[in-house]
Amino acid sequence: MELTQCINYLLTTSQHTVFQYLNTKLAPYDITPSQYGILSCLWQREFATPKQISEILCLETSTISGVLDRMQKKGLIDRVTNREDRREVRVIPTEKGKSLQEPISKIIDEVNEEVLKCFSAEETAILKRMLRMIAEGNHFLEKG
């Protein structure tokens, strides 16, 4: 099979294109797409542990740790120790991190609209459904 016809190639290049476009749109806020992912997790709840964030975003905890370090230096998040279980570190958004929710959410909506504008509503729904099926991997991972 030719490389450009391989599903891995198509998914990787598509993801890279969208990532670069999103990165450009988020740049004025000094936020990366990865940092947006973490903030989005935190905007939905009071706090999250690094492990919970890594599970939601399907990333390694070690990868999340570096991103959290950079976000903390930017004043977007804080890490606090759980008083009831000192082994647990909780990640919470700072006021600065919370203040980005509205403008960043607007950018995310605009990027989604722009990327998907060449598809009809039905095609968009089908594309998303198919991508979720691939992401879940149920139809091919079990067969290993």
Domain ranges for the chain:
3-141
pLDDT for the residue 138: 78
| pLDDT computed for residue 144 by the predictor | 52
Per-residue pLDDT tens for 12-46?
999 999 999 999 999 999 999 999 999 999 999 98
Architecture of domain 3-141: Orthogonal Bundle (1.10)
| Global pTM value | 0.88
Question: Which residues make Cβ contacts (< 8 Å) with residue 76, sequence separation at least 6?
Answer: 31, 35, 39, 93, 94, 96, 97, 100
- Segment 42-99, tens digit of pLDDT: 999 989 999 999 999 999 988 899 999 999 999 999 999 988 888 899 999 999 999 9
Q: What's the CA gap between 79 and 88, in Å, rounded?
A: 10
Closest CA to 29 of 105, 113, 92: 105
